[in-house]
Structure 1
Amino acid sequence: MDFTKPETVLDLNNIRQALVRMEDSIVFDLIERSQFFSSPSVYEPNKFKIPNFNGSFLDWALLQMERAHSQIRRYEAPDETPFFPNDLLPTILPSINYPKILANYADEINVNDNIKKFYVEEIVPQISCKEGEQQENLGSVSTQDIECLQAISRRIHFGKFVAEAKYQNDKPLYIKLIKEADVDGIEASITNSAVEQKILERLVIKAESYGVDPSLRYSQNPQSKINPQVIAKLYKDWIIPLTKKVEIDYLLRRLEDEDQSQIEKYV
């Protein structure tokens, strides 16, 4: 997949391979987070007095990370979606003039607030090794949270590329569904239950493999670092549904960026 060549990005086989690789990043990042306590003070608004900032320590750390990464043009890449899009800094490196791949409104499709909410409220309590605080590790906790959030966000927002690829592959179907504002029809067209089940099964296998000391893998007490079912549930309850939301939100507006002659051709 080469973002300077749109045809490689909108190839569904390439997209599937990219999504599978993202699973590895998410599983590894969650395993790394699981070594720390739940550390609720990291997520409590204004727990720490930070000058000229209103929010949690995680929010502040994430903002600083995004501001730094924006200066090395991370958020110019079409597959990156910032949590703080209005607070980025100009890039120091020369900008890359990526060819157009997605519709003009693509950056407006952003569910990062949803991602951060379910991550903090649902995922952290389930993957943390213990409840409570570790004052010496608050910085490490927030740093690993950022890794998890960014990996999950990239995976979910990759739904925009899935949606665009499917739209390009079957314009007659999608133009009809979009014109009729048929949300159920769009959701049915992008859903493959068999593939989703395979994803969940693959995630359990990966979590079992990556989360166990190889020397203990065949012992009676393998001591997995994280419950594989938790990661599968994360995908089932949050990542897959939010990816579908991104795809549907993107497709419902797709005719805003379509040539009128193409619309008339299929209506």
Structure 2
Amino acid sequence: MDFMKPETVLDLNNIRNALVRMEESIVFALIERSQFYSSPSVYEPKKYIPNFDGSMLDWFLLQVERTHSQVRRYEAPDESPFFPDDLLPVILPSIEYPKILAKYSDEINVNDEIKQFYINDIVPRVSCKDGEQLENLGSVSCADIDCLQVISRRIHFGKFVAESKFQNDKETYTQLIKNKDVEGIDASITNKAVEDKILERLIVKAEGYGTDPSLRYSQNKQSKVDPKVIAQLYKDYIIPLTKKVEVEYLMRRLEDDL
């Protein structure tokens, strides 16, 4: 997949390969997060950072995005910042990417929902213990940022899926969009067999990556993160939010004659 060559980005085989690779990144990120306590104070607004209304995680993530924005990270069409209104001008020469997505694509951003379900539902289930580790607040925040960014990239990759499907069947999607048929669009992008395969693959990956190889054949082997938790994360949040992004993108697709 080469973002300077739109045809490679909208190739469904290339998209599938990218999504499969992101599964591994998400599994590894959650495994890294699992070594720390839940550390609820990291997510508490106005707890540690003076003159800042958000949480320590918010502040840390904002600093990371502001820094990364200066070296062009958010010029890339596959990146969706959590703080799009607070980025800094780029220092490096800008890259003129060819137009791949519709002009409104940046307006489709579900990062607030991602952060909410991550903090409320994922952190308690993957943390090694409940409670605080004051000496690890920075490490917890770093691990959280890695998880949030890779989950966000995976979910917002739905825009490329949506554009590819539109390009491959303009007549059908044009009619669905004109009819404002949200259910029809949702049905057209849903493949239960593929979704089930993703969940099966995730369990295998989580078992393999999260288990000490020397315990592979042990009766008492334990994964660092319960593989079923990661599969449930995909089933309950990542897959539905990806489809939400696809539907929102497609519902507006006739706004842009790409």
Please state which band the TM-score falls in when normalised by the shorter chain.
Answer: over 0.9
Tell me whether 1:192 sits opposite 2:191 in the alignment: yes
What is the match of residue 117 of structure 1? 116
Secondary structure, aligned partner of 2:167: helix
**One-letter amino acid of the structure 2 residue matched with residue 203 of structure 1:** L
AA matched with 1:29? A
Does residue 28 of structure 2 align to residue 28 of structure 1?
yes
1:134-145 paired onto structure 2 within 5 Å: 134-145=133-144
Paired amino acid for 2:9: V
Q: Which residue of 2 aligns with 1:247?
A: 246
Query: Cα offset for 1:13?
Result: 0.4
SS at match of 1:200: helix
Question: Equivalences for 1:227-246 in 2 at 5 Å?
Answer: 227-246=226-245
Q: Which amino acid aligns with 1:229?
A: K
Q: Report the Cα offset of residue 24 of structure 1.
A: 0.4
Alignment partner, residue 68 of structure 2: 69
Please give the secondary structure, in 1, of the residue aligned with 2:35.
coil
TM-score (norm 1): 0.96
CA drift of 1:219 comes to 1.1
Instruction: Give SS of 2:149's match.
Output: helix
Q: Which amino acid aligns with 1:121?
A: N
Matched pairs, number = 258
Q: Distance in 2 between matches of 1:221 and 1:32?
A: 21
Please tell me the root mean square deviation across aligned C-alpha atoms, in Å.
0.7
- Give the Cα separation in 1 of the matches to 2:143 and 2:35: 10
Q: SS of the residue aligned with 2:197?
A: helix
Q: Deviations over 1:179-221 (max 9, x none)?
A: 0000000000000000000000000000000000111111111
Q: Structure 1 CA distance, aligned partners of 2:21 and 2:200?
A: 15
| Counterpart mapping for 1:85-104 below 5 A | 85-104=84-103
Q: How does 1:167-178 map to 2 (within 5 A)?
A: 167-178=166-177
* Runs of at least 5 residues in structure 1 that lack an aligned partner in the other structure: 260-267
Report sequence identity in percent. Answer: 77
Q: CA deviation at 1:16?
A: 0.2
Q: Could you tell me which residue of structure 2 aligns to residue 52 of structure 1?
A: 51
Deviating beyond 2 angstroms after TM superposition, the runs of 4 or more aligned structure 1 residues are none
Distance 1:243 1:6 in 2: 21
Aligned to 1:12: 12
CA deviation vs aligned residue, 1:89-112 (integer Å, no higher than 9, x gap): 011111100000000000000000
Q: 1:42 maps to what in 2?
A: 42
Distance, in Å, in 1 between the alignment partners of 2:43 and 2:220 is 33
SS of residue in 1 equivalent to 2:71: coil
Unaligned 5+ runs, structure 2: none
- Aligned-pair CA distance for 1:38: 0.2
Structure 1: how far apart are the matches of 2:225 and 2:134?
22
